[in-house]
Amino acid sequence: MTNATFPDGFLWGGATAANQIEGAYDQGGKGLSIQDVMPRGVSAPRTVRPTPDNLKLEAIDFYHRYPQDIALFAEMGFTVFRFSIAWSRIFPRGDETEPNEEGLAFYDRVLDELEKYGIEPLVTISHYETPLYLAETYDGWVNRDLIGFYERYVRVLFERYGARVKYWLTFNEINSVLHIPFMSGGINTPREQLRPSDLYQAVHHELVASALATRISHEMFPDNKVGCMVISMPTYPLTPDPLDVLEALHADHLNLMFSDVHTRGYYPGYALRYFREHGIKLDITDEDRALLAHTVDFVSFSYYMSTCETADASKKTVSRGNILTGVANPTLEASEWGWQIDPVGLRIVLNQFWDRWQKPLFIVENGLGAKDELVEVDGELTVFDDYRIAYLNDHLVQVREAIADGVELWGYTTWGPIDLVSASTAQMSKRYGFIYVDRNDDGTGTLERYRKKSFHWYREVIASNGASLT
Ligand code: BGP
């Protein structure tokens, strides 16, 4: 094990998304987003209009409680906070020409608060919250018009916040569009009616929009940094059989394509072959090709688990996971939600990404969703979440190893530093936070915040710049 340390200026913090924390879904002139009609998460059918059982409508009320929450992040010593801007707060329908000033003013206030504590903002432009109107009227990212609406949105964000926000992410987990088209791409057409060409056309539109955002940022604020954001999930061969190795390579390629395009500026040969052999015909213009050449400054990613692949159909036992699935790894344990826990996989993926792209990396999601029990000690309510501490400690030890391997890593933000509504299941009981939020799956609870044991643990990790890891 290395005794190397984290670099000076390494950014430590936590990551969230507007729809999972803000609530106030109909306040401040906000329009509806696709999340407002997804009360049961990703695999249940959407509703026609918002229904009271949708926890995201109120979420954890960050919209009103952000000063208190940011003060708690500051208490832990955060130097970065990742949050997303709700597109439908800025453009309620998505296709207007003028933005909603009240929505813009809200994020001004959030940024004021972060500045007060010297916390660097890391802003996701689109995190699973396409305006519902764009989904219903345009079918989301399948439609090329979305590029223009996104461009308008991005220009407004850069004009308003570009001088205060240095780090931007264009799309959360952009490689999920293929798997969860409504949540990720605002694509209203039911999954089973979409042809692979429709899905990859949506992917292409997002890739072009991402490159366009990068170009605009570089023109307006040359010192700002724009990154792509992908789900990382290293794929291991189930056995040493070369056919399994090849199968794992193919599965990995389907994911890596997104960052390959973002970092190289063109579609790699294996993707072109895949398109050819799967009858995928894309509308790619010369202007699109020119735009794709505007490559990102860094690659950011979420990491929760690894997976396996095999060429042997009889061994394909599917493991549940963070949107992507694969074959279960017989050597690993899983979380209560079936996500296989693999700290070493994080070191592997950091090395793979660095070797492949030689671009700075940023881990913008990592964490354990678990059920917590609130207990009273000396009149204070808390949670003894040793399982969460162990998970994060073990992953961070591997991050340190990767840094010693020579990987350039800018920072680490845990997913959900404060309990929030789960993206995949829309539950509150799947908790990630260092801060407990008193809200239950049935919507009851005071919304009070309590520091968990991991709160104090993370404060120590940050204060020691990782030296307290064991
Ligand atoms: C990622 C999403 C997040 C977040 C996280 C944890 O896929 O970017 O929004 O929710 O996973 O997933 P879940 O909330 O389903 O436990």
pLDDT in tens, the chain (470 residues): 777 789 999 999 999 999 999 999 999 999 999 999 999 999 889 999 999 999 999 999 999 999 999 999 999 999 999 999 999 999 999 999 999 999 999 999 999 999 999 999 999 999 999 999 999 999 999 999 999 999 999 999 999 999 999 999 999 999 999 999 999 999 999 999 999 999 999 999 999 999 999 999 999 999 999 999 999 999 999 999 999 999 999 999 999 999 999 999 999 999 999 999 999 999 999 999 999 999 999 999 999 999 999 999 888 767 666 677 789 999 999 999 999 999 999 999 999 999 999 999 999 999 999 999 999 999 999 999 999 999 999 999 999 999 999 999 999 999 999 999 999 999 999 999 999 999 999 999 999 999 999 999 999 999 999 999 99
Is there a contact between 13 and 79 (Cβ–Cβ < 8 Å)?
yes
Any catalytic annotation for residue 136? no
Where helices occur in 48-144 by DSSP H, the ranges are 62-76, 87-90, 101-116, 132-138
How many Cα atoms are found within 13 Å in the side-chain-facing hemisphere of 341? 17
- Report which of 72, 79, 77 is spatially closest to residue 21, judged by C-alpha positions: 72
Residue 369 three-state SS? coil
Question: What is the C-alpha separation between 245 and 251, in angstroms, rounded?
Answer: 10
Protein residue with its CA nearest to atom 7 in ligand 1: 322
Angle at 344 between CA 339 and CA 349, to 5 degrees: 85
- Report which of 117, 233, 220 is spatially closest to residue 160, judged by C-alpha positions: 220
Q: How far is the CA of 340 from the centre of ligand 1 (A)?
A: 15
Give bridge partners of residue 226 from the DSSP assignment.
168
Tokens of 378: 């000396």
CATH domain 11-463 topology: TIM Barrel (3.20.20)
Domain range list for the chain = 11-463
- Taking the whole predicted model, whether its pTM rises above 0.85 is answered as yes
Q: Which atom of ligand 1 is nearest to the CA of 421?
A: 14
Question: Ligand 1 site: residues with CB under 6 angstroms?
Answer: 17, 172-173, 302, 322-323, 365, 369, 415, 422-425, 430
Any catalytic annotation for residue 58? no
Residues in the chain: 470
Q: How far is the CA of 322 from the centre of ligand 1 (A)?
A: 7
Task: Give every strand in the sheet of 235-237, ordered side by side.
Answer: 235-237, 307-309, 326-327, 318-319
Tokens of 445: 């609870």
Give bridge partners of residue 435 from the DSSP assignment.
418, 451
N-term to C-term CA, the chain: 11
Question: What is the C-alpha separation between 9 and 467, in angstroms, rounded?
Answer: 14
Catalytic residue, candidates 22, 129, 173, 401: 173
Q: Which atom of ligand 1 is nearest to the CA of 231?
A: 7
Is there a contact between 5 and 20 (Cβ–Cβ < 8 Å)?
no
Q: How far is the CA of 260 from the centre of ligand 1 (A)?
A: 23
